[in-house]
Amino acid sequence: MAKISDTAINGHFTGKDILSLDQFSPSDIQLLFKHVSDMAKIAKNAKASDLLKGNIVTLIFYEPSSRTFGSFSASVKQLGGQTVEIQNPQSFSSVSKGETLEDTMRVFEAYCDAIVIRHPVQGTAEKAAAACTAVPIINAGDGVGEHPTQALLDLYTIYEKHGRLDNLTGLAAGDILNGRTVHSLIKGLSLYEGNTLYLLSPEQLRLSKTDYDKFSKKGIKLIEISNENEIPKDCDFWYWTRVQKERFTDMQEYESVKNKFIITPKLLAEYGNENLIIMHPLPRVGEIETTIDDDDRAVYLKSQIRNGMYVRMALVALVLGRL
């Protein structure tokens, strides 16, 4: 399977780098979603699948991860493939001796059929894709940039609950400035008509003006708010996020903005509704009280997690040309 240098998916995932939600159209997302329930069946069935038999996928994570690393690893194995796994290459690979990103990518592309990369610097997945000529790159989060596979699983979770991705009203709360999962979700929701997203954050953690202008041109209505009493009561989903401590150089500033907005039973009773789902990309560090976890509307430790694996199973199989 040769790598394809075109970036737009255009109905063909095989050999494509997956770097940004900008590459997707609604029909590409629908094509991916069409396979997700089959992936769920495979994952729930103890019988091994051999869809990725003979495939090897490298997971190289320059930043910590639980869900993205774990679910990609499990996804490949659920489908009968194998993984080369490198966490913290800065300590446990020749990156520690000064090897460049480009050289590292060119080495690992010789060992596998696709590379999944997470990196703290925005734009690194694109750099990796430019260095790799033989195998596709999947962006597992690049600094404050994007996290496209998270957005795909988030969109699937919303779609599973509401049966549509248009004409939705949502609330994203927390660190909107640095939250790459929110950036990708905004791009994803922008592909559909009639979506409105309220953005609740401390003033310092609003979107940059550049991002606000860029995202607003995409057709989604973005409404920035800084007080809980501005939350509309008709939201279809809440998407809570943590304040991204690792993006701060001044810890005093971090302490002053962290956990300004917390989901409590009182907040949920006052501003929630029966049809709402409560999402979080996780990890959470206090911004949703644990008493909320058992509420049927809370999906962050339930379907949102499981969907992460199913969506990544479908995505990897499509990129490797096995679906």
Stretch that binds ligand CP, among 44-52, 166-174, 182-190, 279-287 (CB under 6 A): 279-287
Concerning whether 147 is annotated as a catalytic residue, the answer is yes
CB of 194 to ligand CP, least distance (A): 27
| Least gap, CB of 280 to ligand CP (angstroms) | 9
3, 16, 58, 68: which one is catalytic? 68
**Member of 81, 136, 170, 281 binding ligand CP (CB under 6 A):** 281
The DSSP code for 298 is B
Q: Catalytic: 180?
A: no
Closer by beta carbon to ligand CP, 51 or else 299: 299
139 near ligand CP (CB under 6 A): no
Q: Are 119 and 321 in contact (CB under 8 A)?
A: no
Virtual CA dihedral for 209, 240, 190, 63, nearest 10 degrees? 70
135 near 157, Cβ under 8 Å? no
Residue 316 vs 323, nearer CB to ligand CP:
316
Residue 93, Cβ neighbours under 10 Å: how many?
Answer: 17
Q: Determine the Cα–Cα distance for residues 156 and 295; give it in Å rounded to an integer.
A: 20
Query: Smaller CB distance to ligand CP: residue 81 or 281?
Result: 281
CA dist., res. 2 & res. 172, Å (int): 39
- Identify which range of 123-131, 196-204, 210-218, 276-284 contacts ligand CP by CB under 6 A: 276-284
Complete edge-to-edge strand list for the sheet that includes strand 56-61? 82-87, 56-61, 114-119, 137-142
Which is the catalytic residue, given 3, 118, 183, 258?
Answer: 118
- Catalytic: 206? no
Give how many residues touch ligand CP by CB under 6 A.
Answer: 10
| Residue (54 or 123) nearer to ligand CP, CB | 123
Residue choice 150, 201, 241, 303 for contact with ligand CP (CB under 6 A): 150
In SS3 terms, 165-195 reads as CCCCEEEEECCCCCCHHHHHHHHHHCCCCCC
CB-CB contact of 198 with 171 (8 Å): yes
Q: Which is nearer to ligand CP, 140 or 231 (CB)?
A: 140
Binding string, 172-211, against ligand CP, x = CB under 6 A? Answer: ----------------------------------------
Evaluate whether 169 touches 234 at the Cβ level (below 8 Å).
yes
Query: In the window 60-99, what residues touch ligand CP (CB under 6 A)?
Result: 65-68
Q: Are 204 and 177 in contact (CB under 8 A)?
A: yes
Which residue of the set 3, 127, 147, 242 is catalytic?
Answer: 147
Radius of gyration of the chain (CA): 19
Binding site for ligand CP (CB under 6 A): 65-68, 141, 147, 150, 281-283
- Catalytic residue IDs: 67-68, 97, 118, 147
